[in-house]
A = this chain, B = another copy of it.
Amino acid sequence: MAGASPFDHAQRRDRLRHLLNPMDLDLLVVSRGVHVRYLTGFSGDSTVLLVGRATDLLVSDGRYTEQLARECPGLDVHVRPPSQKLVDAVPQALAALKAGSIGVESASITLAEMERWRELLPAVAWKSCQGMVEGLRAVKDSRELDEIRRAVDLAQHGYAQWRQAGFIPGTTEKQAADRLEFTLRGIGAQESAFPLIIAGNDGAALPHYHPADKPLPENGVLLTDWGAQTALGYKSDLTRTTLLGKGPASFPDTPALEPTHQAVQAAQQAAIPFLRPGVECSQVDQAVRQSLAKYDLEQYFVHGTGHGFGLEIHEAPWFRQGNPEKLQAGMVVTIEPGVYFPGRWGIRVEDDFLVTPDGGVCLSSLPRGLEPGAIS
């Protein structure tokens, strides 16, 4: 468990509280774990936060008494007895608060929870809410940015150390992934930010690959999609595609590797001027697709252009076709164009950017080319 958090959780809760009135709510039940953490600093689970017009109350249990005191000093806690389930403790705490109009996070509470709460508190006007805390979380404050920069730094140094150590012939993708995981932890990461993708050649042609028990190719491409998580839970997300040995064989039906890799890098660069407040997410996606289209590569780009990240590895905003959501200064996002040639190889290049009035500021500095290089 972490110690007292460096973030201003009271301010975050006040920003959420200001959303209650416009939505005609007396109170919001915050039940998603990552939202509870964002609004209170509590890193455990099985705990719900009630944010009312003049109330902040955590509903938790005795296992967490000490941790709550350490991580969220000063916050009121309703401790349920071991014989009572959380799903029943929440309406009990709510009843004492006499709220008439209560919002729930409908994208995370289960149908069973809602049914139970309606049964126990039939007089309440329940309202399905979506995106309230997500919206706050999408814009990072300066302390969060420090933490994300640290997560990027850990990822970059871990990767450089891992590549520099090289691979014993016969090393499998899974073994290489485990070694990178251990390297990241060894230099100070809590753990990796997500299950690492280490893919050789045809594995790299699958955007959603998992490391297999097969040796890295002697000659080919190595796609590494990795990130680090700090002790406070903030993440980074990077991808590099580099050469192993002499690189992959040439195939008559597949474009040449080097110019294709440069086209992917160029597509990433094309997004940067669009990473400023007011630009629609779809425009960022479009900029990358148009850049790839110049090289007749658009059809091989089979996923979205990127996403926000922070306490979660995938969070708002989402760079997808048709998404009208507008960027705001302080959002932190990935830009990750890729092209995939099934059975042959794939290329993805992913970096982390801060949205600013002057366009995207890149938070990562590892060389992007086919040769794995040192951190600049």
Contact = CB atoms under 8 A, between A and B. Distances in A.
A210 interface: yes
Interface stretch (A9-17, A111-119, A156-164, A265-273): A111-119
B109 A110 contact: yes
Interface string A77-107: 0000011000000000000000000001011
A273 to B, nearest CB: 26
Nearest to A177: B185
Contacts of A63: 207-208, 302-303
A310 to B, nearest CB: 20
A209 B303 CA distance: 39
A188 B231 CA distance: 27
Interface in A199-235: 206-210, 212-213, 231
Contacts of A213: 231
A1 B214 CA distance: 12
A115 B110 contact: no
A144 interface: no
Interface string A41-78: 00010000000000000000011101100000000000
A110 B112 contact: no
A182 interface: yes
A128 B115 contact: yes
Contact of A106 (B64, B111, B303): B111
A181 B321 CA distance: 40
A206 B70 CA distance: 14
Q: How many copies are assembled?
A: 2
Contacts of A130: 112
Interface centre among A44, A107, A321 (most CB of B within 10 A): A107
A128 B182 CA distance: 43
Nearest to A207: B63
A315 interface: no
Contact of A64 (B62, B114, B208): B208
A178 interface: yes
A360 to B, nearest CB: 24
Interface centre among A110, A174, A185, A206 (most CB of B within 10 A): A110
A108 interface: yes
Interface of A: 1, 44, 62-64, 66-67, 82-83, 104, 106-115, 128, 130, 174, 178, 181-182, 185-186, 206-210, 212-213, 231, 302-303, 321-322, 342
19 contacts: A1-B210, A44-B208, A63-B207, A63-B302, A64-B208, A66-B206, A67-B208, A106-B110, A107-B111, A109-B110, A109-B111, A110-B110, A111-B111, A111-B114, A111-B128, A178-B182, A178-B185, A181-B182, A213-B231
Nearest 7 A/B pairs, CB to CB: A106-B112, A106-B111, A178-B185, A107-B112, A182-B182, A111-B114, A63-B208
